[in-house]
Chain A
Amino acid sequence: MTSSRFRVGIVGWGAYIPVYRIKAKEIARQWGFDDRVTDSIWIEEKAVAGADEDTVTMGWYAARSALLRAGVNPGDIGAVFVGTESKPYAVKPSSTIIADALGISAKKLSTDLEFACRAGSEGIRISVSLVESGAVRYGLAIGSDTAQANPGDVLELTASSGAAAYLVGPADESVAVFESLVTYVTDTPDFWRRDGSRYPAHGEGFTGEPAYFHHIVSAVKMLMNESGLKPSDFDYAVFHQPNGKFPLQVGRMLGFPREKVLPGIVTPWIGNTYNASALLGLAKILENSKPGQRILVAPFGSGAGADAISVLVTDKVLERVGKAPTVEELIARKKYISYAEYAKFRNLIHRNLW
């Protein structure tokens, strides 16, 4: 599935990263891992949602920032999508809560999407189609997660919390316009959580080569073939980042030099925010980009699928960066907590409550 257009773009974007951080080495020590495991995947620390935070609160904050930057009337937003794999309610949409809290009109499409870590980018793709078709003027796509990991699993070193939001709308109002969007999806069971399971399971090495790398490489190559673009045409490349190492590795495989990939990497300092992972990387790039620069963003979701999206930055980006907290400001704003506090915040301690 592919589309190529210059009539739709990103009108506003926003990010949220919880203030709490836990050092990856503290988690490693907690479970008796070799300290070097954190270096081997490049993870320094991860963001932890507080006891009163969840996918909805974080998603709301990021979406509010996107609206502040866009400066649009919430009543003109015709679609709200929340991509998450950590919904506060098993049955009951998160998107409706966020939309109402933002004052978005009841006349809208609104749903939660699930595709591991790429449901948020699927929300962007759907929003692009809706705006392109004229069905809505603006579509709001949010990726938000309080990612779960089985305590003691290597996944716990990275699984974190955060949110990113993108308001999609007409190109002439946009900070970046969509040039080309493709998606590559197969049935690849690399990571899953069965109904009733508290934590997800994963296939270790199987999450790498046949899943992450195969899908991102396939999606990006598809985009290159269909658009005629080459790695040298891009100023930045942002990939899904389950850790710090994978995006650099997949960048190498695709021929992107390290200096084009590094600026979009955020995971080593905040962890893998799942549905916000690549989208926070894109936000950080947008906040530092210059008009005319071209950005490749390639989110990945287990199960498995990857998107490859090419955007061209416009001159409107400069005036909107300062209207809401930037990713770098949110990364810098932090408070370290212990494993015990993290366990309490993430509801890993079970007690009787009468």
Chain B
Amino acid sequence: MKTYVVGSGVTKVDRHYDKNYLVLIDEAVGKTLANSGLDASDIEYLVVSTAFSESILNQADPSTYIAQNLGFRNVKALTVSSGEVSGAVALDYAHALIRSGKASRVLVVGFEKMSEYPSWVINKVYSKILEYEVEGIKNVAPSDYAALIMNDYMRRYGVSRESIIKWSIKMHENAVKTPHAQLQFTISADSLSKALRISEPLTMLDSHPTSDGAAALLLVNESVAKKAGTTPIELVDVESSVNLPIYLRDDLTYFSATAAAYKRLSSRNGVKLTTNTAINVYDTYDIYGLLTIEALEICARGEAVKCVDEMPYLNVGGGLKARGHPVGATPLYQVHELRELMSGASWVKYDGDISLAHAMSGPDNNAWLILLKGWV
């Protein structure tokens, strides 16, 4: 049984001070149902993805209240919470429901409200993606690892600080063309010297912003997809892998979990990514985006900065860097952007057959890949 995406909708990624998570989800689900041609009463499963609703919103299992708020009366609802990869895990679960024949119409909803508290609170919550008993109690923040890795990468491959920022520059250029992106302005390498340092040499220009947002995807089986009022995109496969703790890795600059997941996905599905494949990868920090395209074998090790300009379909929505990172919703935003790209609704035309979304927790601690294919 194959899985298809027949509807998707997102809110603008922003600091939504005046909207709670239910209002954001209402908007995303409304758009999703509207462009799928299906009705709320058709939904069998509601799979909700959030990383931090318990920490930030004091809400355990929000799926119950989301279902109630959406007016879903006879639906099976559950919450998936798996750190920064929650959205990818939720999609895998929905995919499994459809593949197994247990469900034919599954609505996946992802959300996060990160602007509810001052940054010192939110930074502490976000740092929970690392291992609390090892890193948390020692006050190591995710950005500290990005800084260490950036330093190591520059030293190992002789890459300059100014060339790494090329990634962020491209992400901001893409965000300007993406209506739902958070940071809709361009940046330049000249801004680097004035940018505030997060953790030397990492600056604000290298990092994702604090974001609120909600996204929804409607996944269905083949028979429902054929009757859908829109061109479906196939969700072909999901693969993942867990890396060693960062302090046990031989090489900080190699994202081996992403690489292992890609090898399995690639051989199982007979696909190979190139610079012309549409991909949407996690770039919580620009250095992570660069390491990811190397782990995905699109660019040689140490050569990623040279590839960036040759990749027209790289994070067309602006990436986590500029579209923003509403954590539990981010993988759903990625798939939504790829769906728009493959269905001709994006700002750039794409003729490729496949596309790939990549999500990961921290510096490749847990990497997930989602393979999509156009309707044949």
Contacts and interface: CB of A to CB of B under 8 A. Distances in A.
B196 A34 contact: yes
Interface string B113-127: 001001100000000
Nearest to B197: A34
A205 interface: yes
Contacts of A206: 15, 17, 115
A210 B196 contact: no
Given A40-B194, A205-B210, 17 more contacts: A34-B196, A34-B197, A36-B195, A36-B196, A36-B197, A37-B196, A40-B196, A201-B118, A203-B118, A205-B15, A205-B115, A206-B15, A206-B17, A206-B115, A209-B15, A210-B17, A210-B18
Contacts of B15: 205-206, 209
Contact of B119 (A34, A204, A210): A204
Interface residues of B, number: 11
Contacts of A201: 118
Interface of A: 34, 36-37, 39-40, 201-206, 209-210
A206 B197 CA distance: 22
A138 B192 CA distance: 55
A309 to B, nearest CB: 28
Nearest to B15: A205
Nearest to B17: A210
Nearest to A203: B118
9 contacts: A34-B196, A36-B194, A36-B195, A36-B196, A37-B196, A39-B194, A202-B118, A205-B15, A209-B17
Contacts of A37: 196
A36 B200 CA distance: 13
Contacts of B195: 36
Contacts of B119: 204
A210 B115 CA distance: 13
Contacts of B115: 205-206
Nearest to A190: B17
Contacts of B194: 36, 39-40
B118 A204 contact: yes
A284 B97 CA distance: 70
Contacts of A202: 118
Interface in B168-225: 194-197, 210
Nearest to A210: B17
A206 B15 CA distance: 9
A202 B197 CA distance: 22
Contacts of A39: 194
A40 B197 CA distance: 12
B299 to A, nearest CB: 32
Nearest to A39: B194
B369 to A, nearest CB: 33
